[in-house]
Amino acid sequence: MELELEIEEAKSLLAFLQDSLVAGTLPGSHWVANTLVKLSFAISEEEEDEK
């Protein structure tokens, strides 16, 4: 599944997923962990491209 997000939206989603994972309120924590890694990497790449 591809999702187009602005950098601020991605950061907000990343924070939500991290908080939910820590709180244990999301099912499928393996999927969440993988998504966190992908999202973090994409944000880092985007920020590098903007420099």
pLDDT confidence of 2, banded at 50, 70, 90?
Answer: low
Q: Name residue 9's amino acid.
A: E
Provide the CA 45 distance to its chain's centre, in angstroms: 13
Write the CB contacts of 47 (distance below 8 Å, at least 6 apart in sequence): 7
CA 35/CA 51 separation, integer angstroms: 25
Q: Which one is predicted more confidently, 43 or 4?
A: 43
Average pLDDT over residues 27-34: 75
Residue 20 pLDDT? 81
**Cβ contact 36:17 at 8 Å:** yes
pTM, entire model: 0.55
